[in-house]
């Protein structure tokens, strides 16, 4: 399951009902909903060079923590 950031829950959530879409510029994106609140989530999949380097965290800390 792809993960995305839910602005309503202010947390990373699994994207349910995820569908892959190709945008006009040829990039792929995942569109789906938050499993908790149902807010539409949209995650752009990195094409080639990732503009936003994401820290690789193999194990996300479980349990709601204060991310901010």
Dist. CA 17–CA 61, nearest whole Å: 24
Residue 16 CB neighbour total at 10 angstroms: 14
Interaction residues for Zn ion, span 18-47 (CB under 5 A): 34, 36-37, 39
Residue 7 in contact with Zn ion, rule: CB under 5 A: no
Dist. CA 6–CA 64, nearest whole Å: 14
Size of the site for Zn ion (CB under 5 A): 7
User: At 3, is the secondary structure helix, strand, or coil?
Assistant: strand
Binder among 2, 9, 14, 18 for Zn ion (CB under 5 A): 9
Q: Which is nearer to Zn ion, 56 or 66 (CB)?
A: 66
Chain residues that interact with Zn ion, rule: CB under 5 A: 6, 8-9, 34, 36-37, 39
């Amino acid at each position: 399951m792809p993960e995305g950031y839910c602005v309503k829950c202010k947390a990373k959530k699994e994207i349910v009902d995820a569908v892959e879409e190709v945008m006009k510029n040829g990039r792929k994106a995942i569109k789906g909903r938050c499993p908790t609140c149902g807010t539409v989530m949209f995650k752009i999949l990195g094409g080639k060079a990732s503009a936003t380097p994401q820290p690789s965290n193999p194990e996300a800390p479980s349990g709601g923590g204060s991310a901010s």
